[in-house]
Protein backbone atom coordinates (compact mmCIF):
# COMPACT_ATOMS: atom_id res chain seq x y z
CA UNK A 1 0.00 0.00 0.00
CA UNK A 2 1.30 3.47 -0.89
CA UNK A 3 1.37 5.77 2.09
CA UNK A 4 1.16 9.45 2.93
CA UNK A 5 3.11 10.90 5.84
CA UNK A 6 1.31 12.98 8.46
CA UNK A 7 3.14 15.94 10.00
CA UNK A 8 3.79 13.75 13.08
CA UNK A 9 5.81 11.41 10.84
CA UNK A 10 3.22 8.64 11.02
CA UNK A 11 2.40 7.02 7.69
CA UNK A 12 -1.16 6.26 6.68
CA UNK A 13 -2.49 4.52 3.56
CA UNK A 14 -2.95 6.78 0.51
CA UNK A 15 -6.08 4.81 -0.31
CA UNK A 16 -8.68 4.40 2.42
CA UNK A 17 -12.38 3.57 2.45
CA UNK A 18 -15.37 5.86 3.06
CA UNK A 19 -18.53 4.71 4.79
CA UNK A 20 -21.23 7.31 4.09
CA UNK A 21 -24.58 5.50 3.59
CA UNK A 22 -23.29 2.23 5.03
CA UNK A 23 -25.39 0.75 7.82
CA UNK A 24 -28.58 2.34 6.51
CA UNK A 25 -30.06 -0.66 4.68
CA UNK A 26 -30.59 -3.96 6.44
CA UNK A 27 -30.28 -5.92 3.19
CA UNK A 28 -26.84 -4.43 2.48
CA UNK A 29 -25.41 -4.86 5.97
CA UNK A 30 -23.67 -8.25 5.60
CA UNK A 31 -21.95 -7.25 2.36
CA UNK A 32 -20.89 -3.88 3.85
CA UNK A 33 -19.31 -5.59 6.85
CA UNK A 34 -17.63 -8.16 4.60
CA UNK A 35 -16.30 -5.30 2.43
CA UNK A 36 -14.82 -3.44 5.40
CA UNK A 37 -13.19 -6.65 6.66
CA UNK A 38 -11.77 -7.42 3.24
CA UNK A 39 -10.48 -3.84 3.03
CA UNK A 40 -8.44 -4.37 6.20
CA UNK A 41 -7.09 -7.67 4.87
CA UNK A 42 -6.04 -5.99 1.64
CA UNK A 43 -4.28 -3.11 3.40
CA UNK A 44 -7.01 -0.48 2.97
CA UNK A 45 -6.85 0.19 6.67
CA UNK A 46 -7.82 3.88 6.79
CA UNK A 47 -11.57 3.93 7.49
CA UNK A 48 -13.47 7.21 7.32
CA UNK A 49 -16.76 7.66 9.12
CA UNK A 50 -18.73 10.33 11.06
CA UNK A 51 -21.28 10.65 13.83
CA UNK A 52 -23.62 12.12 11.19
CA UNK A 53 -23.68 9.04 8.94
CA UNK A 54 -26.89 7.11 9.43
CA UNK A 55 -27.39 8.98 12.72
CA UNK A 56 -24.75 6.79 14.33
CA UNK A 57 -25.73 3.59 12.52
CA UNK A 58 -22.67 3.81 10.28
CA UNK A 59 -20.25 4.10 13.21
CA UNK A 60 -21.98 1.11 14.81
CA UNK A 61 -21.49 -0.91 11.63
CA UNK A 62 -17.83 0.13 11.44
CA UNK A 63 -17.42 -0.90 15.10
CA UNK A 64 -18.81 -4.32 14.32
CA UNK A 65 -16.67 -4.72 11.20
CA UNK A 66 -13.37 -3.80 12.86
CA UNK A 67 -13.97 -5.68 16.13
CA UNK A 68 -10.92 -7.82 16.86
CA UNK A 69 -8.82 -5.93 14.28
CA UNK A 70 -8.90 -2.46 15.80
CA UNK A 71 -5.12 -2.15 16.01
CA UNK A 72 -4.75 -2.62 12.26
CA UNK A 73 -7.09 0.27 11.47
CA UNK A 74 -6.48 4.02 11.23
CA UNK A 75 -9.93 5.19 12.26
CA UNK A 76 -11.21 8.62 11.20
CA UNK A 77 -14.45 10.08 12.52
CA UNK A 78 -16.05 13.52 12.63
CA UNK A 79 -17.95 15.70 15.05
CA UNK A 80 -20.98 17.69 13.91
CA UNK A 81 -20.34 21.46 13.99
CA UNK A 82 -23.27 21.99 16.38
CA UNK A 83 -21.71 19.51 18.81
CA UNK A 84 -18.25 21.02 18.54
CA UNK A 85 -18.40 23.12 21.72
CA UNK A 86 -15.96 22.84 24.65
CA UNK A 87 -18.14 20.22 26.42
CA UNK A 88 -20.16 18.95 23.45
CA UNK A 89 -17.10 17.72 21.58
CA UNK A 90 -16.09 15.44 24.46
CA UNK A 91 -19.61 14.01 24.78
CA UNK A 92 -19.91 13.45 21.01
CA UNK A 93 -16.54 11.73 21.01
CA UNK A 94 -17.61 9.44 23.87
CA UNK A 95 -20.73 8.43 21.94
CA UNK A 96 -18.65 7.74 18.82
CA UNK A 97 -16.16 5.66 20.83
CA UNK A 98 -19.00 3.55 22.20
CA UNK A 99 -20.53 2.95 18.79
CA UNK A 100 -17.12 2.22 17.30
CA UNK A 101 -16.37 -0.15 20.23
CA UNK A 102 -12.97 1.36 20.82
CA UNK A 103 -11.11 3.51 23.33
CA UNK A 104 -9.57 5.86 20.75
CA UNK A 105 -10.18 7.52 17.40
CA UNK A 106 -7.00 7.97 15.36
CA UNK A 107 -8.11 11.15 13.63
CA UNK A 108 -11.06 13.27 14.74
CA UNK A 109 -12.30 15.97 12.37
CA UNK A 110 -14.60 18.95 12.65
CA UNK A 111 -17.05 17.97 9.87
CA UNK A 112 -17.51 21.51 8.59
CA UNK A 113 -17.29 24.96 10.03
CA UNK A 114 -20.31 26.02 12.07
CA UNK A 115 -21.08 28.78 14.56
CA UNK A 116 -18.97 27.52 17.46
CA UNK A 117 -15.74 29.55 17.76
CA UNK A 118 -12.83 27.56 16.34
CA UNK A 119 -10.78 28.19 19.47
CA UNK A 120 -13.38 26.32 21.53
CA UNK A 121 -13.38 23.25 19.26
CA UNK A 122 -9.61 23.26 19.15
CA UNK A 123 -9.40 23.38 22.94
CA UNK A 124 -11.75 20.41 23.13
CA UNK A 125 -9.66 18.48 20.56
CA UNK A 126 -6.48 19.16 22.53
CA UNK A 127 -8.16 17.96 25.74
CA UNK A 128 -9.33 14.75 24.02
CA UNK A 129 -5.81 14.26 22.72
CA UNK A 130 -4.34 14.64 26.22
CA UNK A 131 -6.89 12.10 27.48
CA UNK A 132 -5.80 9.65 24.78
CA UNK A 133 -9.29 9.49 23.28
CA UNK A 134 -8.11 10.87 19.96
CA UNK A 135 -4.59 10.60 18.51
CA UNK A 136 -4.80 13.43 15.95
CA UNK A 137 -7.28 16.14 15.06
CA UNK A 138 -8.17 17.79 11.80
CA UNK A 139 -10.85 19.67 9.90
CA UNK A 140 -13.08 19.13 6.90
CA UNK A 141 -14.54 21.47 4.28
CA UNK A 142 -12.21 24.27 5.38
CA UNK A 143 -11.29 26.71 2.63
CA UNK A 144 -8.09 28.74 2.69
CA UNK A 145 -9.41 31.57 4.89
CA UNK A 146 -10.70 29.08 7.49
CA UNK A 147 -7.34 27.28 7.51
CA UNK A 148 -5.47 30.57 7.89
CA UNK A 149 -7.68 31.55 10.82
CA UNK A 150 -7.22 28.15 12.45
CA UNK A 151 -3.45 28.24 11.92
CA UNK A 152 -3.06 31.27 14.20
CA UNK A 153 -4.72 29.60 17.21
CA UNK A 154 -2.58 28.03 19.94
CA UNK A 155 -2.02 24.34 19.28
CA UNK A 156 -3.54 24.43 15.79
CA UNK A 157 -0.34 23.72 13.90
CA UNK A 158 -0.66 20.04 14.73
CA UNK A 159 -3.74 19.89 12.44
CA UNK A 160 -3.36 16.58 10.59
CA UNK A 161 -5.53 17.09 7.51
CA UNK A 162 -8.24 19.04 5.74
CA UNK A 163 -10.76 16.60 4.26
CA UNK A 164 -12.29 18.24 1.19
CA UNK A 165 -14.31 17.51 -1.92
CA UNK A 166 -11.68 16.73 -4.52
CA UNK A 167 -11.93 14.70 -7.71
CA UNK A 168 -11.49 15.15 -11.47
CA UNK A 169 -14.67 17.23 -11.73
CA UNK A 170 -14.13 19.21 -8.50
CA UNK A 171 -10.76 20.87 -8.63
CA UNK A 172 -11.41 24.14 -6.79
CA UNK A 173 -9.13 23.03 -3.92
CA UNK A 174 -6.16 23.19 -6.29
CA UNK A 175 -6.12 26.95 -6.81
CA UNK A 176 -5.23 28.28 -3.38
CA UNK A 177 -5.99 25.77 -0.64
CA UNK A 178 -3.78 22.88 -1.74
CA UNK A 179 -0.63 24.96 -2.34
CA UNK A 180 -1.04 26.47 1.15
CA UNK A 181 -1.51 23.03 2.73
CA UNK A 182 1.37 21.61 0.69
CA UNK A 183 3.78 24.27 1.96
CA UNK A 184 2.90 23.18 5.49
CA UNK A 185 3.04 19.43 4.71
CA UNK A 186 -0.61 18.98 5.64
CA UNK A 187 -2.08 16.14 3.55
CA UNK A 188 -5.43 16.58 1.85
CA UNK A 189 -8.02 13.88 2.30
CA UNK A 190 -10.08 13.73 -0.90
CA UNK A 191 -13.71 12.87 -0.27
CA UNK A 192 -16.19 11.77 -2.95
CA UNK A 193 -13.21 10.82 -5.13
CA UNK A 194 -15.60 9.13 -7.59
CA UNK A 195 -18.02 12.09 -7.49
CA UNK A 196 -20.37 9.74 -5.63
CA UNK A 197 -20.13 7.15 -8.39
CA UNK A 198 -20.88 9.57 -11.25
CA UNK A 199 -17.32 9.42 -12.58
CA UNK A 200 -17.80 5.71 -13.25
CA UNK A 201 -20.54 6.72 -15.75
CA UNK A 202 -18.57 9.52 -17.44
CA UNK A 203 -18.48 8.69 -21.15
CA UNK A 204 -15.11 10.23 -22.04
CA UNK A 205 -13.46 8.91 -18.89
CA UNK A 206 -14.79 5.42 -19.68
CA UNK A 207 -13.25 5.61 -23.18
CA UNK A 208 -9.89 6.88 -21.95
CA UNK A 209 -9.73 4.33 -19.13
CA UNK A 210 -10.71 1.38 -21.33
CA UNK A 211 -8.08 2.27 -23.88
CA UNK A 212 -5.44 2.17 -21.14
CA UNK A 213 -6.70 -1.02 -19.48
CA UNK A 214 -8.40 0.59 -16.50
CA UNK A 215 -11.94 1.07 -15.32
CA UNK A 216 -13.16 4.68 -15.08
CA UNK A 217 -13.16 4.46 -11.26
CA UNK A 218 -9.54 3.27 -11.36
CA UNK A 219 -8.58 6.16 -13.64
CA UNK A 220 -10.28 8.69 -11.32
CA UNK A 221 -8.49 7.24 -8.30
CA UNK A 222 -5.15 6.87 -10.07
CA UNK A 223 -5.34 10.60 -10.91
CA UNK A 224 -5.78 11.44 -7.22
CA UNK A 225 -3.04 9.02 -6.20
CA UNK A 226 -0.66 10.68 -8.65
CA UNK A 227 -0.64 13.67 -6.28
CA UNK A 228 1.75 13.56 -3.34
CA UNK A 229 0.08 14.18 -0.02
CA UNK A 230 -3.42 13.23 -1.16
CA UNK A 231 -5.36 10.47 0.60
CA UNK A 232 -8.40 9.19 -1.32
CA UNK A 233 -11.32 7.60 0.51
CA UNK A 234 -13.69 6.05 -2.04
CA UNK A 235 -16.73 4.44 -0.48
CA UNK A 236 -17.83 1.02 -1.57
CA UNK A 237 -19.98 -1.43 0.29
CA UNK A 238 -19.26 -4.10 -2.29
CA UNK A 239 -16.23 -6.42 -2.28
CA UNK A 240 -15.81 -6.51 -6.05
CA UNK A 241 -15.82 -2.74 -6.37
CA UNK A 242 -13.45 -2.44 -3.41
CA UNK A 243 -10.96 -4.72 -5.23
CA UNK A 244 -11.47 -2.72 -8.41
CA UNK A 245 -10.73 0.52 -6.55
CA UNK A 246 -7.63 -0.97 -4.96
CA UNK A 247 -6.48 -1.84 -8.48
CA UNK A 248 -5.99 1.90 -9.07
CA UNK A 249 -2.67 1.54 -7.25
CA UNK A 250 -1.39 -0.64 -10.09
CA UNK A 251 -1.85 2.16 -12.61
CA UNK A 252 0.71 4.90 -12.13
CA UNK A 253 -0.39 7.49 -14.71
CA UNK A 254 2.16 8.73 -17.22
CA UNK A 255 2.69 12.47 -17.85
CA UNK A 256 0.82 12.03 -21.17
CA UNK A 257 -2.18 10.41 -19.42
CA UNK A 258 -2.18 13.19 -16.82
CA UNK A 259 -2.15 15.84 -19.57
CA UNK A 260 -5.06 14.11 -21.27
CA UNK A 261 -7.06 14.07 -18.04
CA UNK A 262 -6.24 17.76 -17.56
CA UNK A 263 -7.72 18.48 -20.98
CA UNK A 264 -10.87 16.45 -20.23
CA UNK A 265 -11.30 17.86 -16.73
CA UNK A 266 -9.62 21.28 -16.74
CA UNK A 267 -8.69 22.90 -13.50
CA UNK A 268 -10.53 26.19 -12.82
CA UNK A 269 -8.89 29.19 -14.49
CA UNK A 270 -9.65 31.53 -11.62
CA UNK A 271 -9.70 30.75 -7.89
CA UNK A 272 -13.09 29.42 -6.86
CA UNK A 273 -14.52 28.88 -3.40
CA UNK A 274 -14.21 25.32 -2.15
CA UNK A 275 -17.28 23.27 -3.03
CA UNK A 276 -18.79 20.83 -0.58
CA UNK A 277 -21.35 18.01 -0.69
- Active-site residue 53, yes or no? yes
Looking at the Cβ atoms of 156 and 209, the one nearer to ligand NAP is 209
Q: Which candidate, 29, 159, 135, 48, places its Cα nearest to that of 100?
A: 48
**Which of 89, 192, 219, 227 is in the footprint of ligand NAP by CB under 6 A?**
192
Site size with ligand NAP, rule: CB under 6 A: 27
Looking at the Cβ atoms of 99 and 235, the one nearer to ligand NAP is 235
The catalytic residue among 53, 136, 166, 191 is: 53
Shortest reach from residue 211's CB to ligand NAP, in Å = 18
Based on the shown chain and the rule CB under 6 A, indicate whether residue 196 belongs to the binding site for ligand NAP.
yes
Binding mask 131-160 for ligand NAP (x = CB under 6 A): ---------xx-------------------
* C-alpha triplet 236, 27, 245: angle, nearest 5°: 10
Based on the shown chain and the rule CB under 6 A, indicate whether residue 223 belongs to the binding site for ligand NAP.
no
Shortest reach from residue 202's CB to ligand NAP, in Å = 11
Based on the shown chain and the rule CB under 6 A, indicate whether residue 244 belongs to the binding site for ligand NAP.
yes
Based on the shown chain and the rule CB under 6 A, indicate whether residue 210 belongs to the binding site for ligand NAP.
no
Residues near ligand NAP (CB under 6 A) are: 18-20, 48, 111, 140-141, 163, 191-197, 200, 217, 233-238, 241, 244-245, 277
Active site residues: 53
Amino acid sequence: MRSVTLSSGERVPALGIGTWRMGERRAARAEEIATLRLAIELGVTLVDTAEMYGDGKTEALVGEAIAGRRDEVFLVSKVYPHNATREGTGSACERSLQRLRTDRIDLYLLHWRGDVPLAETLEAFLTLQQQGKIRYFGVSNFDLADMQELWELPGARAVATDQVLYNLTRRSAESALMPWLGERHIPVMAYSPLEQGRLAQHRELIALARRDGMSPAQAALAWLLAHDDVIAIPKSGNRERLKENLGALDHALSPAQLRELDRLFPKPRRPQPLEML
